[in-house]
Amino acid sequence: MKSFALANAVLALVLCLSGCIGAPIALTTQTEQRLQAEAPIRFLLTFDDGPSASGYDNPSRSVVADLAHNPVLPGIKAVFFLQTEAARSGGSSRGRKTMEREYAGGHILAFHTATAFHTNHRWLSNTELESTLTQGAADIASITGAPPVLVRPPFWNYDRRTFAAYQRHGMQVLLTDLSANDGKIWGFNGSPRRRANLYRQLSVVRERIALDELPTVDGVIPVVVTFHDINRYTARHMQEYLQILLDSARVNGMKTATEPFYTDTAALQRAALARTVKDVNEAVHLPGVWNWVWDADSH
């Protein structure tokens, strides 16, 4: 019945993508009071699946340019979870140059895949997993001079074995609080309900902050946000997304830090590391219905 449960969960996910975004959780007086004791939030931007190797209007490079120059806050630094060996990504000379440009721009290069495709690490044998982690770490170190300290498992999926392998390679798992739901994996490019989606998700995070569940780092509470820089829609709307995040905080009654995004690479890394999964048994919040998909898989 395992595969039946998984198929049902996947079906639910696909249906859900077409519009199961609820309204934001209403702000109660109690939550409002609890928030007053909490630090302001700062959005920690992350990008998955890049770099783009496109020679035409490269979306990853467009994102890097918009983070550096935009009306909201110039000089934003982000974490890029890279596909270092995929042919249309880091496994090409243009992709590699894009990663070099990201590093030169003060961004953090982190690990996502080092296989030809966006492969789930749990489906790899011990030998394949070991070699993909070694390869990915070497690919990134050849640009930055040091192996990556952050990993985002493809499909947000890890188990005891893959988690331990990440740890052996000095990589900590960073999940996310908010997802722009702009992954291309399901064939959706646009994200027409992106505003409603982010408002709703941030209201859920706000409730967790009010319960003091998120750490304060350097005087702010980092809120991790995930985009896909290979998505042209995302790249075209990057500046607008920055404003939508600020609006999301405002409509949810949340204070943002004076600098609402990270502009310092070292501070960005401290914040990201503070938000990593410390223990494989930790209950985690995955975006969308992924918790449901992987729970079905493990039953």
Residues that bind Zn ion (CB under 5 A): 48-49, 154
The three-state secondary structure class of 87 is: coil
Q: How far is CA 226 from CA 38, 168, 175, 180, in A?
A: 23, 25, 9, 6
- Kindly tell me which of 223 and 230 has the beta carbon lying closer to Zn ion: 230
CA distance 166 to 163: 5
Least gap, CB of 154 to Zn ion (angstroms): 5
Rg of the Cα atoms in the chain: 18
Least gap, CB of 100 to Zn ion (angstroms): 21
Least gap, CB of 118 to Zn ion (angstroms): 5
- Kindly tell me which of 51 and 154 has the beta carbon lying closer to Zn ion: 154
Least gap, CB of 185 to Zn ion (angstroms): 7
What are the structure tokens assigned to 11, written together?
Answer: 């079906």
Q: How far is CA 96 from CA 39, 89, 253, in A?
A: 38, 8, 41
- Kindly tell me which of 66 and 182 has the beta carbon lying closer to Zn ion: 182
- Kindly tell me which of 83 and 256 has the beta carbon lying closer to Zn ion: 83
Burial tier of 46 (Cβ tally within 10 Å: 0-12, 13-18, 19+):
buried
Would you say 78 and 51 are in contact if contact means Cβ atoms under 8 Å apart? no
Least gap, CB of 86 to Zn ion (angstroms): 10
CA distance 103 to 140: 10
- Kindly tell me which of 50 and 260 has the beta carbon lying closer to Zn ion: 50
